[in-house]
Amino acid sequence: MLSNAERLLSRKQITSIVDSTRRTLALWSGSVSAGKTIASLIAFLLAVRVAPRTGLIVVVGRTLQTVYQNVFMPLQSPGLFGSLVAAQVVYTPGATKATILGREVMVIGAHNAEAVGRIQGATIALAYVDEATLLPEVFWNMLVTRLRVKGARLLATMNPASRNHWMRKSWILKADTVDLIHFHFTMLDNPTLEQSYIDRMKRSYSGVFYDRFIKGEWTNAEGAVYPMWDPDRHVIPWASMPAMQEIMGIGMDYGTTNATTALMLGVTAEEKPRLVMMDEWGYSPAEHDGRRLTDAELSRRFRTWLGQQHHPEPDGLRPRFLMLDPAAASMRVQLHNDLRGTGLSPWSADNDVLKGIATIANLLDGDEPRMVVTDRCTGWQSEVTEYRWDEKATTEGEDEVVKEDDHYLDGGRYITHSTVGYWKPMLELAA
């Protein structure tokens, strides 16, 4: 059945596939690209063949989209599982049903607690869970109670989260009591990775993200979000900013009672290009006796700023993107109308906070930071030193930042993280 993978499995992968059958629950956790998904999917295919007929088979992930990418795409890849298996995995992206080795499978996106309704009352014979630490705890708990036929099993993969995460505290640490076996994987357990790839991944993460995604450890996000911040290394005078090869664009955070901010990001034309947070604009009611502005007035002031000079030696480059706070529906309409004919229109920024923070932290980290900020970005600088992980959330196992003064940081994160696909090749080419 597993013609191609068979020859390539690492010892750790093989052991986990065999040992996973010893317990009702089997969990694979650890670093990115560690081979967890491949090993657990082989275990899953073997389990599908013997799964009790009296219960459902379910495949669960955060969304139908991530289930498709992380589970069905590999299963349907002849290079990984052979063309025989690929032909026996039938799934249309977005659908809530699939067929695997002739058995009907229910597919569930469970990013919020409402998904509980889909399995309440059901009897489940076999479950496969992708990115389990990102699911609501109530959903997981319900799923486990549904495993009520003899021989029912659950297989799950995940990247580690905080030490207090419910998955670690209530399941992994109580493995024997809850009839669970846990496998910890790192990139060394993937038999196919080149050293250069491992090195590149190592360079892509720092701090808490390095510990989790590279070492595969369960660690808390604590204290300062950007502990590497150092004005001596990260701030440059606006007047002596290097020439740019590209102005990536502007990130905008929007608030009615809170500040509305805009941060402009460029890529330098240096031999070893860097990102520069070139300039910023903002309006905060708190600094104007609580006076709120209409969207029309905010837009007018923003456009006045946009028309000004943002580089000491004007070079004719224009910003490519305007990445707007995805929650700012009214402002999006306003800007869409007001910017007509300028070549710039508002896009919804990628607001994955953790990934965005990981992107910025990595750019700031190291002996030669790949991002600097000009001294015009005073709002950004005033926030970056204060930005902290939320201790209370950490105690509860969640990763959250204290949401106080983060409006300039959010604007900067929107443009930086949403355009990562554009600037990354520019930075890496010269690296």
Ligand X SMILES: Nc1ncnc2c1ncn2[C@@H]1O[C@H](COP(=O)(O)OP(=O)(O)OP(=O)(O)O)[C@@H](O)[C@H]1O
Cβ contacts of residue 422 below 8 Å, gap of 6+?
246, 248, 320
Could you tell me the strand order of the sheet in which 244-253 lies? 235-236, 371-374, 275-283, 260-268, 244-253, 321-324, 346-348
Contact with ligand X (CB under 6 A): which of 38, 156, 377, 427?
38
Is 32 a residue that touches ligand X (CB under 6 A)? Answer: yes
End-to-end CA distance of the chain: 42
Q: By CB under 6 A, name the one of 20, 88, 133, 157 that touches ligand X.
A: 157
Q: How far is the CB of 10 from ligand X (least distance, A)?
A: 6
- Residue 226-245 contact track with ligand X, rule CB under 6 A, x = bound: --------------------
CA-nearest of 176, 151, 129 to 27 is 129
Count of residues making up the chain: 431
Using CB under 6 A as the binding rule, the residues of this chain from 183 to 202 that contact ligand X are: 185, 190-192
For residue 347, give both structure tokens.
């896009």
Instruction: Retrieve residue 377's tokens.
Output: 């970005």
Rule CB under 6 A: is residue 5 a binding residue for ligand X? yes
Is 31 a binding residue for Mg ion by CB under 5 A? The answer is no
Q: Quick one: which of 37, 88, 186, 381 contacts ligand X (CB under 6 A)? A: 37
Nearest CB to Mg ion, comparing residues 58 and 306:
58
Q: Which is nearer to ligand X, 61 or 319 (CB)?
A: 61
Both tokens of residue 17?
């596939």
Q: Which residue matches tokens 């459902």?
A: 56
From the list 98, 128, 90, the residue with the least C-alpha distance to 110 is 128
Q: Is 37 in the site for Mg ion (CB under 5 A)?
A: yes
Q: Name the minimum Å distance from CB 230 to Mg ion.
A: 35
Spatial distance between the Cα atoms of 219 and 302, rounded to a whole number of angstroms: 41
What phi-psi label fits residue 249: left (phi over 0), alpha (psi between -120 and 50 degrees) or beta? left
* Number of Cβ atoms within 10 Å of the Cβ of 219: 16
359: contact with ligand X by CB under 6 A: no
- x/- map, 51-90, ligand X, by CB under 6 A: -----------------------x-----x----------
CB of 36 to Mg ion, least distance (A): 5
Candidates 2, 20, 25, 35; binder of ligand X (CB under 6 A) is: 35
The pair of three-digit structure tokens given for residue 388, joined into one six-digit string = 């902290």
Smallest distance, ligand X to C-beta of residue 222, A:
23
By CB under 6 A, name the binding residues for ligand X.
5, 8-9, 13, 32-38, 74, 80, 157, 159, 185, 190-192
